[in-house]
Amino acid sequence: MKYLILILLAAICHFLSAQDKAYYYEIPTAPESYSATSVAARLVDGLGFRYFWATEGLNDKDLSFKPSEDARTTYETIEHIHGLTSVLLNTAEMKPSGGEEDQPDNFEDLRQATLRNIQRASEILKDPNSNLEDMPMIFQRSNGNSEYPFWNLINGPICDALWHVGQVVTFRRSSGNPLPSGVSVLTGTKRD
């Protein structure tokens, strides 16, 4: 009976610790089949996983680091990534981007807002009724709108965000705070 209670407690603790893991702690399960939208969603989930770990555990020293006088700081790079994910989400929601976007003014809120943008865009793309041809990337400007097909979202904001996430990883290494051990971008998992 004593062992049964111990096993039950261990199982409950394991279940609760798994529930505490944030979205993108691990990459979500891959879909059963391939479609244009499921592949786009998987690309977005890869961004979410990489962003989660690139920004996990950053401190003030990391956030203020910049490799040269002409470069952005890590925090400014994270602000830029947030803007790119806002364009991603707006496109998925079939809304134009432009004008003044509300942006959180502290790191933790900015990080969470960026992760929510990525997660929400992925959820929209995973909807079986989603169609990439119905999702043009639109920039609203005072002199008129510019519209681009979803292809440009991939090679523009999505790939740019991935590029900048790589910069955050490099910057944090340079400031003495490398990625936590056990993060595998190949499998989308974290060994504890």
Q: What is the pLDDT of residues 114-133, one digit of tens each?
A: 999 999 999 999 999 999 99
Determine the residue type at 81.
Answer: I
Domain of 88? 2-190
Q: In this predicted model, what pLDDT tens digit does every residue of 168-177 receive, in sequence order?
A: 999 999 999 9
The enclosing domain of 140 has a CATH number of 1.20.120.450
In the chain, what percentage of residues exceed pLDDT 70? Answer: 89
Say how far apart CA 98 and CA 12 lie, in whole Å: 47
Per 3-state DSSP, the chain is made up of helix, strand and coil in percentages (nearest 5) of 60, 10, 35
Q: In this predicted model, what pLDDT tens digit does every residue of 87-106 receive, in sequence order?
A: 999 999 999 998 667 789 99
Q: Quick one: average pLDDT of 173-185?
A: 96
Say how far apart CA 84 and CA 119 lie, in whole Å: 14
Whole-model pTM: value is 0.88
- Looking at the DSSP assignment, which residues form a beta bridge with residue 138? 147
Say how far apart CA 73 and CA 86 lie, in whole Å: 20
Task: Categorize the per-residue pLDDT at 192 as very low, low, confident or very high, splitting at 50, 70 and 90.
Answer: confident
pLDDT exceeds cutoff 80 at 60: yes
State how many domains the chain has: 1
Say how far apart CA 149 and CA 138 lie, in whole Å: 9
Alpha-helix residue ranges (DSSP H) falling in 21-135: 36-55, 60-64, 74-92, 107-126
DSSP state of 99: S
